[in-house]
Amino acid sequence: MKDLSDNKKFLENKEVLYLEDIKKIIPHRYPFLMIDRIEEFRSGKSCVACKNVSNNEWFFQGHFPNYPVMPGVLIIEAMAQAAGVLAFRTLIEEGVCEAGGSDFVYFTSIENARFKTPIVPGDVLRILISVEQRSGHKFWRFNGKVFVKETLADEADFKAMIPEKR
């Protein structure tokens, strides 16, 4: 059995996870880290992540120069990263994996994606992720919703898998 004392210390009293905490769980780094914090977490069930959309984001230089809009694929990526934190933190708590941000989650499908409202500089995204189904620690199905203020801006269902370490 693994010594989980370091993982338990990392997770103690962590109601909110900030950027440095997130980097201990998933391997993404600037400029591709798309979430700033996790505000709520229910192990194995759901989480709420936030992304502060700044005018200085790298993708706004070309998408679109006179009317900056966050690309839909990056909104989906933000949902996926929040789901990755949810899955890995759950697995860390269960003793299946360790904190360190070296494990990966791979998309296997994206379905029912809907982009209802353009995301622009100054928006604060509240990303709600819920686990719809789970098969062991390897296969996960999620639903993601992105809100700006009280408005549902985007949503998608997606599946992911956590491969065995090589």
Active-site residues, by number, are 63
Is 67:129 a contact under the CB 8 Å cutoff?
no
Q: What is the token pair recorded at 56?
A: 């200085």
* Strand residue runs (E) in 8-164: 37-42, 46-52, 106-115, 124-135, 139-148, 151-161
CB atoms within 10 A of CB 95: 12
Contact 97, 103 (CB under 8 A): yes
